[in-house]
């Protein structure tokens, strides 16, 4: 039952970041700020649930993002979103994450994710701008939006993922 809630939440966040957020973001920042709310939830799933769930959510919703929003190179967002979720789950598997640690991990993961996407786009010559320009123009402004979203949804998402992992552990014991 809880897995259905997680997928429904992820799908609603996916719809929110593509339909409502372009209206909320001011007109001058429309091309600069790219919301990656689904990625934030994938990182939270790696922190507070199983790493395999983070991998599955990252790959599936990353591929959905590749198909719907980014048609240049299919699979890039799916691969790196799943990979970042999995590595977050591996690194913090046995540790209890506080809110500051979670926000720091989300911030670092968002910068790394956007930087890797930029470097792959520059390798395939989809973008010709410098990394310093990309960092100032869209990676850092997007980071602040992701961090605000992570802070706003921290408690409910943490409870959802911890409840799902406890239910899975109880089912495994039976």
Residue range 134-161, pLDDT digits in tens: 999 999 999 999 999 999 999 999 888 8
Q: Is residue 154 part of a domain?
A: yes
Dihedrals phi, psi of 149, to nearest 5 degrees:
-65, -40
User: Who wins on pLDDT, 97 or 65?
Assistant: 65
pLDDT class of 169 with cuts at 50, 70, 90:
low
- Residue 153 neighbours by CB under 8 Å, 6+ apart: 40, 41
Task: Give the C-alpha distances (Å, rounded to integers) separating 108 from 2, 17, 82, 112, 126.
Answer: 28, 20, 16, 6, 24
Contact 39, 55 (CB under 8 A): no
pTM: 0.90
Q: Is residue 164 part of a domain?
A: no
Q: Is residue 45 part of a domain?
A: yes
Q: Is residue 87 part of a domain?
A: yes
Q: Which range marks the domain in which residue 151 is found? A: 32-159
Q: Has residue 172 got a pLDDT over 70?
A: no
Instruction: Look up residue 75 and give its two tokens.
Output: 């699979």
| R_g of the chain computed on alpha carbons | 16
Lowest-pLDDT range, 11-15, 22-26, 131-135, 136-140? 22-26
Q: Is residue 7 part of a domain?
A: no
pLDDT at 82: 95
Q: Is residue 15 part of a domain?
A: no
Q: What is the mean pLDDT of the chain?
A: 89
Q: Has residue 32 got a pLDDT over 60?
A: yes
Q: Has residue 165 got a pLDDT over 90?
A: no
Q: Is residue 150 part of a domain?
A: yes
Rounded average pLDDT over 59-73: 88
pLDDT at 146: 95
Lowest-pLDDT range, 107-116, 124-133, 142-151? 124-133
Instruction: Look up residue 16 and give its two tokens.
Output: 């929110």
Q: Is residue 42 part of a domain?
A: yes
Number of domains composing the chain = 1
């Amino acid at each position: 039952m809880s897995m259905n809630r997680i997928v429904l939440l992820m799908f609603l966040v996916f719809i929110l970041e593509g339909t409502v957020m372009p209206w909320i973001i001011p007109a001058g920042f429309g091309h600069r700020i790219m919301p990656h709310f689904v990625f934030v939830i994938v990182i939270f799933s790696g922190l507070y649930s199983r790493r395999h769930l983070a991998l599955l959510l990252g790959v599936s919703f990353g591929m959905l993002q590749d198909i719907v929003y980014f048609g240049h190179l299919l699979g890039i967002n799916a691969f790196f979103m799943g990979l970042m979720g999995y590595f977050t789950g591996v690194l913090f598997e046995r540790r209890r994450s506080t809110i500051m640690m979670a926000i720091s991990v989300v911030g670092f993961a968002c910068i790394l994710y956007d930087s890797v996407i930029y470097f792959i786009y520059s390798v395939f010559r989809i973008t010709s701008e410098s990394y310093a320009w990309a960092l100032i123009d869209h990676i850092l402004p997007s980071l602040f939006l992701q961090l605000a979203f992570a802070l706003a949804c921290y408690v409910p998402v943490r409870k959802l993922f911890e409840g799902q992992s406890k239910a899975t552990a109880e089912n495994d014991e039976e």
